[in-house]
């Protein structure tokens, strides 16, 4: 390769590189615009109509839309409901998956494989395809329009059970035996020997569970019907579809920001952890 | 074997052993109960219910064999639903994966403000789809919606994106790509960072250009990531429903109705339990094919690690 060719190649490469960076910057701006616009319009004065000439903050940014959104819809109640649902599911899940994971990791019992397989079937049949029968189950249990109805189908988790089983298997058996020698019962063994090293796996599971149920829409839409049990997602849908709101975009975007604001703030602070947890939760 | 005298102590020991044998069953019983009640039994039940005529027209469920299925496939609306779903899957999956790969390759170098780029591409992932759809409902507003402002910049007249049967599905596809590309991108970024550096060094010493080593080393080495991401993307695309509910209600003229939305509509608007069950079965079978692939693949990957 002669000197000229090398130089030409180098030039070509640096041109391609700058071109790549330019594309990247343009696409990134395009990606960011929807949320930036929503934030800007949420402080747009309600009495100034949006138009092609007046598309962003308006003449004087105001929090009036937020005040009105809170007045029209019980967003605080929706927040409480979502938090109760999400953490209610999580706490029960952590108990059930630890117990089942422990059993599958450290016990030999008849039917073990078939039972494990039956539980794993949950990974293969997505819950959204089962809303028809699950809705009638909830009706039969007289749980319609309760927080429990939103939570109940998710108390058992195949993914969590699988994860705990894999994690508990890495705990040396000697530790288990030593604990038993010292007179610990199974619960104490589980609590003091198995749970501490499984903490990172449990946190990863918790983050994926929280983000899935925080965002879930169809199931809560099906089984809730009042302010007392509606989570944020369903609450926002009801809010934007209220006749009185129509196309008052500053108000609608304020409602949206109320719903996503805290989430975005948490994401800004814990970006790394969020991304890691999403990386590890390919299986929900 | 030594015969033990029957003492109270031995009795206690035996009771303990029986208890010990039952313990693993007790431990798995909560999980098994919830999985049985909300996954296993319902799965069998939708299969069973799908064989019965059960709607406003009949008083008692009537056995109809595959009647619900034949009715569905003869119904032009349902055929439209299938076509929409397939178009949506075939458009969003490859486009967002391809874009994710390109972005990951561009981000996988020493550049300024890397964190800002990652933030810009990844934040849609953490938004609930309902909120994202609300924002995009606004983006597509006729007249001053930013999508229209953007295309008018190129002298294309403003469109009624969500009201035009020819554009509504495209509008949902754009939202789908925007929402999930960043999610797939981080899988590729993680994949790229895990690539063996020495192979690339060897290739470069042998005179391979950047494009050659991308084509012949990076792409094949990322094939595992692509398979994994594709399965997630396909399953997610088949489960598309939130944005349809928020943005179009399946319209105009069913142009955006997809499987899961149609299932919801059949159950709650048309109150047809039999057909809703048949749609569930179709959805389950389609998704089963992909989740089983995903499961087998991850199992195998775990086995290698």
Is pLDDT at A73 greater than 60 in this prediction? Answer: yes
Considering only CB atoms, which chain A residues are within 8 Å of B284? 125-126, 129-130
**Tokens 């109805």 belong to which residue?**
A149
Of the pLDDT bands very low, low, confident and very high (cuts 50, 70, 90), residue A82 is very high
| Residues 116 through 175 of chain A touching chain B, CB cutoff 8 Å | 118-135, 137, 152-158, 161, 166
Are the C-beta atoms of A199 and A233 separated by less than 8 Å? Answer: no
Nearest Cα residue in chain A from B245: A237
Tokens of B143: 């007249």
pLDDT value for B10: 47
Are the C-beta atoms of A216 and B131 separated by less than 8 Å? Answer: no
Interface contact A20-B106, CB threshold 8 A: yes
**With an 8 Å Cβ cutoff, is A31 touching chain B?**
yes
Mean model confidence pLDDT for chain A: 89
Q: How many C-beta neighbours within 10 Å does residue B162 have?
A: 22
Of the pLDDT bands very low, low, confident and very high (cuts 50, 70, 90), residue B115 is confident
Domain ranges of chain A: 3-66, 73-241
| Residues 84 through 103 of chain A touching chain B, CB cutoff 8 Å | 95-97, 99-100, 102-103
| DSSP-assigned states of every residue in B120-188 | HHHHHHHS-HHHHHHHHHHHT-TTTSHHHHHHHHTTPPP--TTT-TTTHHHHHHHHHHHHHHHHHHHHH
Distance CA(B10)–CA(B54), nearest Å, equals 60
Tokens of A223: 């089984």
Radius of gyration of chain A (CA): 26
Distance CA(A189)–CA(A106), nearest Å, equals 11
Of the pLDDT bands very low, low, confident and very high (cuts 50, 70, 90), residue A245 is low
Of the pLDDT bands very low, low, confident and very high (cuts 50, 70, 90), residue B56 is confident
**Residues paired with A51 in a beta bridge:** A54
Distance CA(A200)–CA(A217), nearest Å, equals 28
Is pLDDT at A1 greater than 70 in this prediction? Answer: no
B177: distance to nearest CA of chain A, Å? 10
Q: Which of A141-145, A181-185, B111-115 has the highest mean pLDDT?
A: A141-145
Tokens of A162: 């699988």
B218-264 pLDDT, tens digit each: 888 888 888 889 888 998 999 999 999 999 988 899 999 999 999 99
Nearest Cα residue in chain B from A215: B128
* Closest by CA position to B164, among listed B179, B149, B148, B181: B148
B50 Rama class: left (phi>0) / alpha (psi -120 to 50) / beta: alpha
Interface contact A271-B119, CB threshold 8 A: yes
pLDDT value for B17: 54
Distance CA(B91)–CA(B256), nearest Å, equals 14
Of the pLDDT bands very low, low, confident and very high (cuts 50, 70, 90), residue A230 is very high
Is pLDDT at A283 greater than 50 in this prediction? Answer: no
Is pLDDT at B18 greater than 70 in this prediction? Answer: no
Tokens of A114: 């078939």
Is pLDDT at B274 greater than 60 in this prediction? Answer: yes
Q: Rounded mean pLDDT of A42-62?
A: 83
Q: Rounded mean pLDDT of A198-210?
A: 88
| Percent of all residues in chain A with a pLDDT value above 70, rounded to a whole number | 96
Considering only CB atoms, which chain B residues are within 8 Å of A264? 123, 126-127
Are the C-beta atoms of B230 and B210 separated by less than 8 Å? Answer: no
Q: What is the pTM of this model?
A: 0.88
Nearest to B130 among A33, A233, A247 (CB): A233
Ordered by where they begin, the domains of chain B are: 76-304 (1.10.3720.10)
Nearest Cα residue in chain B from A280: B187
Of the pLDDT bands very low, low, confident and very high (cuts 50, 70, 90), residue B1 is very low
Element (H, E) at B62: strand B62-63
* More confident call, B215 vs B98: B98
Tokens of B133: 């759809």
Q: Rounded mean pLDDT of A212-219?
A: 93
Q: Rounded mean pLDDT of B46-60?
A: 87
B3: distance to nearest CA of chain A, Å? 25
pLDDT value for B300: 62
Interface contact B28-A103, CB threshold 8 A: yes
pLDDT value for B13: 47
A184: distance to nearest CA of chain B, Å? 14
Is pLDDT at B9 greater than 60 in this prediction? Answer: no
B73-to-B67, B238, B260 alpha-carbon distances in Å: 10, 18, 16
Q: Give, in words, the CATH class of A73-241.
A: mainly alpha
DSSP H helices in chain B: 8-35, 41-49, 67-74, 76-107, 114-126, 129-139, 146-153, 168-193, 197-205, 210-213, 219-221, 223-238, 242-247, 259-268, 273-304
B85: distance to nearest CA of chain A, Å? 15
B291-to-A126, A130, B10, B34, B264 alpha-carbon distances in Å: 9, 15, 51, 21, 22
pLDDT value for B132: 94
Cis amide linkage into residue B252, ω under 30° from 0: yes
B261-267: long-range pairs with CB below 8 Å, 24+? B262/B77, B262/B78, B262/B81, B263/A129, B263/A131, B263/A132, B264/A131, B264/A218, B264/A222, B267/A131, B267/A132, B267/A135
B169-193 pLDDT, tens digit each: 999 999 999 999 999 999 999 888 8
Q: Rounded mean pLDDT of B154-163?
A: 89
pLDDT value for B302: 55
Mean model confidence pLDDT for chain B: 86
| Residues 187 through 206 of chain A touching chain B, CB cutoff 8 Å | none
Considering only CB atoms, which chain A residues are within 8 Å of B280? 129-133
Best of A99, A129, A188, A235 to mutate (most B CBs within 10 Å, chain B): A129
Of the pLDDT bands very low, low, confident and very high (cuts 50, 70, 90), residue B301 is low
DSSP H helices in chain A: 3-41, 64-72, 75-106, 112-124, 131-140, 147-151, 158-169, 173-181, 186-189, 199-215, 218-223, 232-240, 249-269, 271-279
């Amino acid at each position: 390769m002669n000197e000229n060719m090398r130089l030409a190649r180098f030039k070509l490469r640096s041109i391609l590189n700058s071109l790549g960076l330019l594309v990247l910057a343009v696409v990134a701006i395009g990606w960011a615009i929807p949320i930036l616009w929503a934030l800007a319009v949420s402080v747009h004065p309600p009495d100034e109509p949006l138009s092609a000439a007046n598309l962003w903050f308006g003449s004087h940014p105001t929090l009036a839309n937020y005040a009105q959104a809170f007045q029209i819809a019980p967003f605080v109640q929706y927040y409480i409901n979502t938090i109760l649902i999400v953490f209610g599911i999580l706490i029960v899940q952590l108990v059930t998956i630890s117990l089942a994971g422990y059993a599958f990791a450290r016990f030999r019992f008849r039917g073990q494989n078939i039972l494990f397989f039956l539980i794993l079937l949950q990974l293969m049949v997505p819950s959204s395809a089962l809303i028809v029968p699950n809705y009638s189950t909830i009706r039969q249990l007289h749980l319609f329009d309760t927080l429990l109805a939103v939570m109940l189908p998710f108390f058992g988790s195949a993914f969590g059970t699988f994860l705990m089983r894999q994690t508990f298997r890495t705990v040396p058996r000697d530790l288990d035996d030593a604990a038993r020698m010292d007179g610990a019962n199974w619960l104490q063994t589980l609590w003091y020997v198995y749970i501490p090293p499984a903490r990172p796996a449990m946190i990863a599971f918790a983050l994926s569970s929280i983000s899935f149920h925080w965002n879930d829409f169809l199931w809560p839409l099906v089984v809730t019907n009042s302010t007392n049990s509606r989570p944020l997602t369903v609450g926002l849908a009801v809010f934007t579809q209220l006749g009185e709101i129509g196309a008052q975009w500053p108000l609608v975007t304020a409602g949206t920001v109320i719903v996503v604001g805290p989430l975005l703030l948490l994401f800004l602070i814990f970006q790394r952890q969020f991304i890691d947890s999403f990386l590890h939760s390919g299986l929900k | 074997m030594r015969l033990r005298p029957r003492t109270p102590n031995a009795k206690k020991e035996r009771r303990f052993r029986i208890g010990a044998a039952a313990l693993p069953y007790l431990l798995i019983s909560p999980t098994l109960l919830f999985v049985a009640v909300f996954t296993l039994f319902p799965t069998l039940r939708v299969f069973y219910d799908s064989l019965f005529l059960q709607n406003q027209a009949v008083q008692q469920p009537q056995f109809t064999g595959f009647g619900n299925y034949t009715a569905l496939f003869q119904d032009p609306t349902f055929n439209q639903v299938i076509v929409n779903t397939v178009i949506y899957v075939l458009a969003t999956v490859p486009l967002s994966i391809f874009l994710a790969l390109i972005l990951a390759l561009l981000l996988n170098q020493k550049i300024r403000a890397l964190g800002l780029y990652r933030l810009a591409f990844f934040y849609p992932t953490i938004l609930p789809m309902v909120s994202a759809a609300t924002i995009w409902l606004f983006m597509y507003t006729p007249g001053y919606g930013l999508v229209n402002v953007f295309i008018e910049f190129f002298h294309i007249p403003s469109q009624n994106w969500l009201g035009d049967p020819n554009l509504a599905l495209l509008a949902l596809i754009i939202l789908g790509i925007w929402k999930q590309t960043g999610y797939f991108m981080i899988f590729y970024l993680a994949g790229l960072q895990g690539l063996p550096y020495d192979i690339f060094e060897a290739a470069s010493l042998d005179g391979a250009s950047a494009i050659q080593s991308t084509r012949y080393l990076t792409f094949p080495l990322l094939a595992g990531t692509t398979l994994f991401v594709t399965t997630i993307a396909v399953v997610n695309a088949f489960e598309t429903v939130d944005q349809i509910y928020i943005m179009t209600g399946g319209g105009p003229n069913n142009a955006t109705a997809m499987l899961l939305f149609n299932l919801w509509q059949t159950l709650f608007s048309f109150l047809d339990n039999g057909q809703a069950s048949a749609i569930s079965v179709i959805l389950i079978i389609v998704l089963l094919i992909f989740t089983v692939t995903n499961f087998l693949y991850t199992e195998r990957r775990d086995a290698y690690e």
